[in-house]
Amino acid sequence: MKLDYAVTLADWKAAIRLHMRQKLGRRIHLAIFNFVIPVLAVLGLGYIVFANSTGQSGVVDELVMPVTVLVLISILIPIMRNFAIRKSFKGMFPPSETGPGYSLDIDNERILSVRPGSGEAKYFWTGICGVAQDNKITLLYISDILFLGIPTRVLSPADRTELYDLIARNVVRKQK
């Protein structure tokens, strides 16, 4: 099976999202920065308003700085994360005039990954240590943090079946 495609920012975001959901530590990290800190910031702001309206100025004075820090973290972390994702995408997949941007040749023995103008790499199925997939992307893990992403949009139904069969024969067998 040969796939030629350009990786889009949406594909990269989907890959990062799926990658972040694969380990408990990453999930906890996301939960803290996406849910816990913003909730604490909102609750803190609400309590400051309540304490101020009931005349508890001492409590307000003590809480202003920690709540301000929580609000800033709640605002800045998503902005910084979005900036980092865009920057990593531009670094990993610079615009190229020499071809579609990415090419994978997958067979029963190996995966040949080619980026025109950058280089090529050959991965044998014995080197693939894990697989993660959802309805947007399939990740073939080369190590705990390095992966090859295959967007679902570039796979025909026949390609999808062939890829899943190759994964079932070569990767799942190792994980048992």
pLDDT (tens digit per residue) in 107-160 = 889 999 988 777 889 999 988 988 999 999 999 999 988 999 999 999 999 999
Domain C-terminal end among 92, 121, 156: 92
> How many angstroms separate the CA atoms of 104 and 173, rounded?
22
* Sheet containing strand 110-115, strands side by side: 2-5, 102-106, 110-115, 119-124
Domain C-terminal end among 92, 109, 133: 92
Indicate which CATH number applies to the domain containing 169.
2.30.29
Q: What is the pLDDT of residue 132?
A: 92
What does the mean pLDDT of the chain come to?
A: 88
